[in-house]
Structure 1
Amino acid sequence: MGNFNPMYVTFGIYLIVVLLIGIAAYFSTRNFDDYVLGGRSFGSFVTAMSAGASDMSGWLLMGLPGAIFLFGLSKAWIAIGLVVGAYFNWKLVAGRLRVQTEFNNNALTLPDYFYHRFGATGHVMKVMSASIILFFFTIYSASGVVAGARLFQSLFDVSYTQAMWLGAGATIIYTLIGGFLAVSWTDTLQATLMIFALILTPIIVYLSLGGANEVSAAFQAASAASGKHYSSLFEGQTAFTIISTAAWGLGYFGQPHILSRFMAADSAKTMANARRIGMTWMILCLTGACAAGYFGIAYFQMNPDSVNIMKGDHERVFISLTTLLFSPWIAGVILSAILAAVMSTLSGQLLVCSTAIAEDFYKGFLRPNAAQKELVWVGRLMVFAVAMIAMIIASDPNSRVLGLVENAWAGFGASFGPVVLISLFWKRMTAQGAIAGMLCGAITVVAWKPLTGSDMYEMVPGFIICTLAIIIGSLLSKPTPEMVERFERADKAFKEAA
């Protein structure tokens, strides 16, 4: 009994619950539509919580608090940009995309939507969009594996490789067997855990410091020691750096794992209530994450002997505060929220990758008449394959969670964001414009920093160049009458539903 740790129990219970949800979803999955989009049956609460949980990965409880801890509130521009971007994603994209995918051959994936929205001629559109998904999502998935490995490595004294398998194993299993239903049901549980942890932890950290006077004195001492003004949103910031940091919000319009939640809603009418629920949850979570990192500065200034618990890694600040200030039973529940954040996003990414392969490559090219059960099993095999590639990418223990997320987020935002937005509002947009935009956006994200050396977040030039390419490419070509007529019917249906 000497080695008994209550955190093992709480983690074990959490993992058992998500696996049981995966098993339940397995028996509820009847066909490929269920496996990919849950039969388009989700109401506003599940839609909102699933979209939020799949969005906020391990970076919410590791990368963002770590950045605030290291630099102060000047890094909160990331959170501000995300809130603005998410609101407009719900407002401008959610309902319209739900209706447009239904009118465009009941598209189940983003590549399939692009393919049918722009005339269903040739497969260049499908191949390019599915390839972009696979490329950037393997990087994005790797960030989740790294975050999970860091958590298990910090708590259970195991090697980085063992921690990777522990962190990713349960996610792979419930995603593989349960598909979209398992992912969305577990997302609802995980979103609840995340908001509980992010509200409670900064409050307890603040109370442990003694009060406003003690907190103020601690920040003054920290600022004097480092020369940084931690409490200023504008410390070390220029208009250039603020725009670059807040530009994270542009990425929402092109994230396939978030957009798929909009596609899975039971109707466009669901979106208004889902937006209110989702935005409230998001603002509370981001505020809590920033507060945890911010109060962590004061805590470790007042308790310098405890700094070594972070082992020189600022992204462990949330984990360290939790283990220092809570009983092992409560700490286990709170730290399960980090695992929940990791699992919710990683599962969504794995599912989008697997369905892109099954629907857009396997069915699209190899087996056009494949049976529903066959596609489901191909999807399951692809979940495992993509997960293994992500684990190879994540095998470097020095990988930074926020850096990996930053690259993949920009890739999707710049490649797909303008394509999705413009396709929902401009009936004159053509396949040539969409292909040019995707290609230019992806290339800009990959090549921007190596070629220019600029500190500007590659999302900004990528989004602009993609938009210009869409407009120019569309003006140099013409949509077919069928494309225009289908767009107008879908647009009319959305306005009637709204």
Structure 2
Amino acid sequence: MASYEIFITFGIYLVFLMAIGVYFYSKTTTHESYVLGDRGVGYWVTAMSAQASDMSGWLLLGLPGAVYTSGLTEIWVVIGLALGTYLNWKFVAPALRVQTEKYNSLTVPSFISQKLNDKKGYIRTFSAIVILFFFTIYSASGLVASGKLFDSLLGIDYKWGVLIGGGTIIVYTFLGGYLATCWTDFFQGCLMFFAIIVVPVAAYYSGGGIDGISTAMEAKDISLNIFKYTKVWSLPIIISGLGWGLGYFGQPHIIVRFMSIDSADELWKSRLIAMIWVFISLLGAIAVGITGIGVFSDISQMGGDAEKVFIFLIHKLFNPWMAGVLFAAILSAIMSTISSQLLVSSNTLTEDFYKHIVKREKTHKEMIWVGRLCVIVIFVIASVLAMNPSSKVLELVSYAWAGFGGVFSPVILFTLYKKDLHWKTVLASMIIATITVIAWKTSGLSNTIYEMVPAFVINSISIYLLEKFKVFGNNEK
């Protein structure tokens, strides 16, 4: 059972997050402010909220656990994510910020549909279905991480941990909407950055430095020298790892941050901040897994779950007050992503379904409250999926990431940069990509090549060929 110091620290942190929601409740007066913060978010908050919502619980739980188990085979994932982050900020962010404002689009589905002149909204509807499906899975992964954290940290039953962590998110997301999620992400991103530096440094010395860690890794048949570790150079592992970076262009909860910044001219500042944060955070997560091997040579010392290595390191190496702060960083990683996903899912239901199904004139107050109710609906469904404590965070995240990346990434790039793209071309390619992701995953082929890669490639080729041969004719403007 955790000490009272950790309980107090955790309690203060949860109250602080909910207070942010209460603060922004009074400032959320229009539907656009609830959905997109009136497109007035500063570059610091834009950068930190984008990256905090990107790096979910897998940064402090899933990735270190995978490194602890498999060593530096995860280095290609890190490289892929770093490259994807940069390219996303460089090429998608400015174009998306300008074009979504031009078409007065509040969501990704509505933007694609409006720009491609899909008058009947088929793209908007299909996109919304894909978003709701994969975001429910993605949100469930965060709730799984929450349950594991409360179970390991406070001795609270796993299922109650899912509900407590999720319940806190519901409060500030329900009340404060987009601005509340952005500002909580900002503070959470700062806390995550602090923790990902402090913990591996302490673990390095506790694990006996380079010699102690190397010895422990060799005992697990893992080498610090990637040139001696043959698995690292396996072509399927390289392709699959780098393939993670392809997903960035199509992650709605990340690219929505580009749509809300106050000015496109400020995006270069956000990009610089984001890249520094990502580079250090990813290296830190790798370091947690490696140094964890030196401190805990046997996985049984962590209850048999490698994804708890960060939690057990904090328990072992820090006094209760500092441990409480560092544990809050893990909760930050979990909450920052779930809140963004719940809000995007809610906005999708509100903007892409309710707004078009209910034909009468709707007030801002009505749209805000419909959005708030949708937040609760998505949370309930995700909570049911998360009730299995044996679920692996990284597995759930990877499937959802592949879904968004495979279906949306090529579409976003083509929509932003190709003129006269036919909406039927895009709809057909999205359907093909969705089938590819699900079929590749269920067939077991994802054990060889990450399902993101074939879906992205097939989606891109489909768009190119369908447009080249004008299968659907010329798009009518």
Give yes or no for TM over 0.5.
yes
Show the counterpart of 2:220. Answer: 226
Corresponding letter in the other structure for 1:247? G
- Tell me the CA shift for residue 450 of structure 1: 3.0
1:419 aligns with 2:380: no
Q: Deviations over 1:341-391 (max 9, x none)?
A: 110000000000001001110001124521111010000000000000000
TM-score (normalizing by structure 2): 0.96
CA distance in 2, matches of 1:72, 1:211: 17
Show the counterpart of 1:463. Answer: 456
- Tell me the CA shift for residue 102 of structure 1: 1.0
Among 92, 111, 114, the alignment partner of 1:113 is 111
CA distance in 2, matches of 1:115, 1:390: 27
Among 433, 444, 451, the alignment partner of 1:441 is 433
CA distance in 2, matches of 1:193, 1:309: 27
Corresponding letter in the other structure for 1:175? T
Corresponding letter in the other structure for 1:459? M
Once the two structures are superposed, the pairs formed by residues 230-379 of structure 1 within 5 Å of their partners are 230-232=224-226, 234-237=229-232, 238-301=234-297, 308-379=300-371
Among 203, 206, 215, the alignment partner of 1:205 is 203
Show the counterpart of 1:68. Answer: 67
CA distance in 1, matches of 2:208, 2:116: 61
Would the alpha carbon gap of residues 206 and 468 (structure 1) be closer, same or farther in structure 2, given more than 3 Å must change?
A: same
- Tell me the CA shift for residue 164 of structure 1: 1.0
- Tell me the CA shift for residue 479 of structure 1: 4.8
Q: Deviations over 1:265-294 (max 9, x none)?
A: 112111111000011011111111110111
Q: What is the root-mean-square deviation of aligned Cα atoms in Å?
A: 1.6
Show the counterpart of 1:194. Answer: 192
| 1:145/1:391 contact within 8 Å kept | yes
Which secondary structure does the structure 1 equivalent of 2:449 belong to? coil
Q: Deviations over 1:213-259 (max 9, x none)?
A: 3344x34xx42x33333542653131222111221111001000001
1:153 aligns with 2:151: yes
Would the alpha carbon gap of residues 170 and 447 (structure 1) be closer, same or farther in structure 2, given more than 3 Å must change?
A: same
Would the alpha carbon gap of residues 291 and 3 (structure 1) be closer, same or farther in structure 2, given more than 3 Å must change?
A: closer
CA distance in 2, matches of 1:385, 1:330: 36
Q: Deviations over 1:280-335 (max 9, x none)?
A: 0111111111101111111223xx6xx54411000000000011000010011011
Q: Which runs of 5+ in 1 are unaligned?
A: 483-498
Question: Which has the higher mean CA deviation after the structures are superposed, 32-41 or 291-300?
Answer: 291-300
Show the counterpart of 1:170. Answer: 168
| 1:74/1:235 contact within 8 Å kept | no
Question: Which has the higher mean CA deviation after the structures are superposed, 46-55 or 73-82?
Answer: 73-82
After the TM superposition, which segments of 4 or more aligned residues of structure 1 sit over 6 Å from their partners? none
Which secondary structure does the structure 2 equivalent of 1:232 belong to? coil
Show the counterpart of 1:96. Answer: 95
Corresponding letter in the other structure for 1:477? F
- Tell me the CA shift for residue 440 of structure 1: 1.1
Would the alpha carbon gap of residues 396 and 267 (structure 1) be closer, same or farther in structure 2, given more than 3 Å must change?
A: same
1:399 aligns with 2:398: no
- Tell me the CA shift for residue 147 of structure 1: 0.4
| 1:433/1:472 contact within 8 Å kept | no
- Tell me the CA shift for residue 196 of structure 1: 0.2
CA distance in 2, matches of 1:94, 1:355: 20
CA distance in 2, matches of 1:409, 1:74: 19
- Tell me the CA shift for residue 34 of structure 1: 0.3
Would the alpha carbon gap of residues 172 and 231 (structure 1) be closer, same or farther in structure 2, given more than 3 Å must change?
A: farther
Aligned-pair identity in percent equals 46
Q: Deviations over 1:117-155 (max 9, x none)?
A: 111411211110000000000000000000011000001
Show the counterpart of 2:472. Answer: 477
- Tell me the CA shift for residue 453 of structure 1: 3.4
CA distance in 2, matches of 1:335, 1:231: 31
